[in-house]
Chain A
Amino acid sequence: MARFARVALGASFAALACVAILGEQAQACGGGDFYGITELTTFDPKVLGDPINDGLYYDPFIAGYQGACEACANPVLADWNGYLKGAILPADWEKILYQATPSELTAIGQKLAGKAKAAPKGYEQSSIWKTPAAADKLRGAIEFVQLAREVEGFSSFEAYDADGNAKPTSAPPDDLLATARAGSKSKDRFLAQRYAFQAVRVLFYRRDWAGTVAFVDKNASLLASPSDDLAWNARLYAAGALSRDGKRARANLELARIHANYPPLSATAANDFRPAEETDWRASLKLAKTAREKTELWRLVGIKNDGVVAMQEILKLDPKSPLIGLLLVRELAHAESRGMGMWGEKPEPSELEAQKKAYATLEKIALDQIARGGDKPWLMELVAGHIAAKRGDLAAARAHLGRATAAKPGDAAVASQAKASLALALVANWKIGPAYEQELATTVAGLDPSFGRADSVRSAIRSQLAGIYAKAGQIVDAEFLLPGTVEPYDPYSSRPTGAKSKWDDVGFIQQMITRAGKTTTPFDKFVVGSSFTIAGLQQDLASRYLLDGDFATAAKGFAAVADPGRLGTDPFVMHVVDCHDCDHDKYANASWTRASLAKKLAELEKTAKGNGEAAAQAAMQLGSALYNISYHGNARTFLENTHQVTGDTSLALRWYKRAYELSKNRDFKARAAYYAAKAELGNLITQAETANPDGTGTPQPLVPTTWFAVLKQYNDTKYYRQVLRECGYFSDWLKH
């Protein structure tokens, strides 16, 4: 039992090693964000509305079932507050119950008994002293807390702490058991139950499995009230003892009873429920006294093992069983997420085939339940409608979803799920035009903000529509619906997979800007309601102009965006050996922004188009800035958050070449040639990246032979000697 024993998480070496090859898939993801069940499914299981632990909903990515549970507020405090009402303020009792040290508890008890005058430090103002008539009752409570604290010290079988350190363990001594047993005979029902519960715990941690079970059985009525929480926890201990004693059949039955009847422990019971062999399981069913108990057993099988078989067995036992709903929504999530991995992997064809079969099975269960008047007909309609929607049967989806909402008027969760499912059905039958567009936009806009699958539904709709609009040639809408549609990116390198990018096209970016401003209809608003902003697109456009060499237009564009963000570096700084981080450290406070850099480049271009050394200097600066804003340089922040990030250094190379050609100074020419070589190398790297996107080929040394050869002609210059000293790559090339 997870509550009592170390769960053997022995995902064994062999099983874990199964990813030896599969691990390659994970590499492709580069450790980015992963999907959870809420992203992979579009049906919100919370439509059930049952007071149920969240952890019981289907989630293949979480081990165990522990989740949030609204009905699971701390019952211990509530029990005590009810018992001590009027005797002490709740906050004061909570402090005593959870924080008082053993010596403080003793001191409090002595003062209540009149054996000490002073209250222990920190308790002087406690309301425990305010009602003398309640002193005896409070003293009894304090004595119990002292016992419970002592028992707590033995309440673990763990031989190691959470850090793996060995820790001593020992069994509770006889006197603790005797005290607990004696207390259980108290005439005070509240305390008697609590003492009896402590006796259960003592027996359990003494590893007296048979004694634990016998005590619980013999004192069933004593343990049953007044606290429900203690009653069910005592049964949980009994189940744990039965399990450890090898009596799996009864243990599983007890766990099924706990799971079905006490929500705060339903997840714990599910974790511990573990039918192993068929003989045990048949014995559990035989021990069940009623059909209801048998269905409770099957429901746990449905949660832990096989929901479909469990539903079929439950319905054989009780066609109107209320235990079907959870299993149905679990299996629906199971089917919908079939074959989809947490890294966004697409399902294999065999998984899609299995998904179809699973949908058909679930649809039949739902329809049969509707026909025979089973439990929660509205849920059955909702599930049938959702499956019809996923299948693309719009008419059936409308009919089922309509009946579901009619049966649950005013239920926001059901209404939202029906809208979500209808939206999916519309998209599955999509016809480009105002009728569908209007209905879809209105339907999606009507999703309640609390609807738990709003994001996944919107995402699924946008994704499918993007494909449809792209196929119809409406690529701007497609890109808004799902960024990346017109420009698939390699998830590992984050680079476009195609040779030519749409985002290299000024016209396309302008169309995107125009579309972003068009919000006439609800569908327009839905389409442009993505991550694109007009300002962001304008920055993209200005960046594109700059990379196309139109510095003046780029400067105007950046000025219009009014982006005050600094580059955090000096984009004109060059070294023999690049050092991106050094430059960012050294020039962190440089005043360069996108706008000021673009303006400067426009000015430099005018000079560089002239002649002489001044033009050469300007051309050199242009080359350096353009090199640095590529991802090879120190100012790649310039293009961050745009679609213009590039490793293409051709424009930089062109200006370096011009600088080289314009100057008559040999040292300057050597420098221009070396910088040109760096730009040449940048392009070689980029081309190698494009040719070998998965990076798995044998790396070949890349050498900028054109400009190294030019540099070699300047071996009499000071700069040449500097390069020779600092750039081993160049000196190696010379040797070969």
Chain B
Amino acid sequence: MRLRLTLLIALVGAIASCKAAPAQDGPGARRAFYYWRTTFALSAAERTALTEAHVTTLYVRAFDLGWSAIEGRAEVLGGLTSAEAAPAGVDVVPVVYIKNEVFQKLATAKLPELAQTTWTGVQARMRALGAPRELQLDCDWTPSTRDAYFAFLRQLRAVAGVPLSATIRLHQAKFREKTGVPPVERGMLMFYNMGTFSAAEGKRAIFDAPTASQYLERLPTYPLPLDVALPIYSWSVQLRDDRVEALLQAVDPDELPKLDFVEAAGDDRFRVTRSAFLHGTMLREGDMLKIERMGPADTLEAAALVAPRLPPGSRTVSLFDLSERNLTRYGTDDLEHIFGALR
């Protein structure tokens, strides 16, 4: 039987309440992109977009940390394999994604070692991109892992000696008493992936305004300075028998009309006419491919929704993610409008 921490918190101290603050006038937010490929090599179009949109920061995935059941230890998975120099005037912030199971399984005594190897690994992988001046951690921690994750963050901060930021999911912002607030300098609110995948027409897991609205009420009082990440990506969802079979991240919706084993079956979907492989996934005859696509208007809607609910202060706005595929739908003016909508 556990005594609920929420209530203990209620007993030992009053929680300050603040009024919602509208987006402030003043200098614009710092502009950023996430860069999520394993080789850091920008195309000409990507460089142009960075320059024209006045982007000053790139959040670059350094590597992931997972749990090796065989070795009984945390292990580095994937991540950056090579990198060219970052464009002039662009700061690079490494991002380390840590699977929650690491903190479910790793002994507390091993946390300092993990902090040390994480920082060593980041430095090794980011060498070509310059010494990190900030490090971002991405972990979908839960109440059961928060103590371990937060202890790890404290160790990492001591080891790295640079400011830490942590991704904050919407539920973590809303249920902060239960999930806790990470001991870092800043949070990066992930304002996307906010619904379950659905076969229903018009339902979109990437961004759904009604769902998002359910998580915004307490955002203004979140006790960390908050940056915000907005989506500009798209993907396809494989449906079978009116239920979701798989998420096809690699499938660009724009390529579907060109395939000879699918046919259009509505505004947002295609039917598979014969079983075939597509980017490593076997599609079965009769499957449907549902398109979920963000466009400039959608991202602007997301920006407008979250802007008045963000805690006051300067911030970074980052778009997920930088790729030629996404830039085909987002021109310079679109990016300008989106970045301009958040200060």
Contact = CB atoms under 8 A, between A and B. Distances in A.
Contact of A699 (B104, B177, B192, B241): B177
Nearest to B260: A278
Interface stretch (A25-33, A451-459, A480-488): A25-33
B36 A164 contact: no
A19 B95 CA distance: 18
A685 B275 contact: no
Contacts of A599: none
Given A13-B34, A24-B171, A689-B4, A164 B282 contact: no
CB-based closest 8 A-B pairs: A164-B121, A31-B144, A699-B10, A305-B282, A20-B169, A166-B124, A695-B6, A164-B76
B282 A20 contact: no
B280 interface: yes
Contacts of B107: none
B205 A18 contact: yes
B66 A278 contact: no
B223 interface: no
22 contacts: A6-B78, A10-B38, A10-B78, A12-B36, A14-B321, A16-B97, A16-B138, A16-B140, A17-B138, A24-B175, A26-B140, A27-B175, A30-B142, A160-B124, A164-B124, A301-B282, A695-B4, A695-B7, A698-B15, A699-B9, A699-B10, A729-B12
Contacts of B100: 26
Nearest to A645: B1
A18 B241 contact: no
Contacts of A309: 275, 282, 284
Interface in B5-37: 6-7, 9-12, 14-15, 34, 36
A162 interface: yes
B76 A495 contact: no
A696 interface: yes
B233 interface: yes
Given A31-B142, A163-B120, A631 B194 contact: no
B280 A275 contact: yes
Interface stretch (A90-98, A233-241, A348-356, A424-432): A348-356
B121 A27 contact: no
Nearest to A7: B78
Interface string B136-167: 00101011110000000000000000000001
A569 B309 CA distance: 49
Interface stretch (B40-48, B242-250, B295-303): B242-250
| Max chain B Cβ within 10 angstroms of own Cβ: one of A8, A17, A301 | A17
Most chain B CB within a 10 A radius of its CB, from A31, A276, A645:
A31
Given A277-B277, A306-B275, A11 B64 contact: yes
A22 interface: yes
B179 to A, nearest CB: 7
Given A20-B140, A493-B4, A645-B1, 7 more contacts: A7-B78, A17-B193, A29-B144, A160-B124, A162-B76, A166-B127, A276-B277
Nearest to B261: A278
B311 to A, nearest CB: 18
Given A8-B78, A165-B124, A699-B10, A27 B1 contact: no
B144 A21 contact: no
A27 to B, nearest CB: 5
Counting chain B CB atoms within 10 Å of each CB, which of A29, A165, A274, A702 scores highest?
A: A165
B11 A26 contact: no
A534 interface: no
B243 A164 contact: no
B124 A21 contact: no
A57 B222 CA distance: 46
B90 to A, nearest CB: 19
A26 B172 CA distance: 12
Interface string A59-83: 0000000000000000000000000
A278 B275 CA distance: 9
Contact of B36 (A13, A281, A351, A495): A13
B170 interface: yes
A160 to B, nearest CB: 7
B178 A696 contact: yes
A27 B76 contact: no
Contacts of A493: 1-2, 4
Interface in A447-482: none
Given A18-B247, A689-B4, A26 B142 contact: yes
B11 A278 contact: no
Given A14-B193, A20-B194, A276 B205 contact: no
A9 B124 contact: no
A353 B241 CA distance: 9
Contacts of A9: 64, 66, 77-78
Interface string B263-301: 000000000000111111110100000000000000000
Given A30-B144, A309-B282, A13 B320 contact: yes
B194 A701 contact: no
A259 interface: no
A21 B127 CA distance: 35
A164 B282 CA distance: 34
Contacts of A16: 97, 99, 138, 140
B7 A18 contact: no
Contacts of B36: 12-14
B125 A17 contact: no
Contacts of A166: 124-125, 127
Interface string A696-712: 10111110000000000
A712 to B, nearest CB: 19
Contacts of A645: 1
Contacts of B231: 14
Interface string A270-311: 000011111011000000000000000000010001101100
A164 B125 contact: yes
Given A160-B125, A702-B10, A696 B279 contact: no
A277 B243 CA distance: 24
A280 B278 CA distance: 10
A165 B120 contact: yes
B307 to A, nearest CB: 19
B97 A699 contact: no
B104 A31 contact: yes
Contacts of B205: 18
B195 interface: yes
* Most chain A C-beta atoms within 10 Å of own C-beta, residue among B142, B233, B284: B142
A688 interface: yes
A12 B196 contact: no
B142 A21 contact: no
A354 B14 CA distance: 50
Nearest to B287: A306
Contacts of A160: 76, 121, 124-125
Interface in A352-391: 353-354, 357
Given A165-B121, A636-B1, A12 B170 contact: no
B316 interface: no
Contacts of A632: 3
A548 B64 CA distance: 55
A95 to B, nearest CB: 25
Contacts of B127: 166
Given A18-B193, A20-B190, A160-B121, A8 B38 contact: yes
Contacts of B321: 13-14
A381 B98 CA distance: 46
B76 A13 contact: no
Nearest to A24: B171
Nearest to A6: B78
Contact of A278 (B61, B178, B276): B276
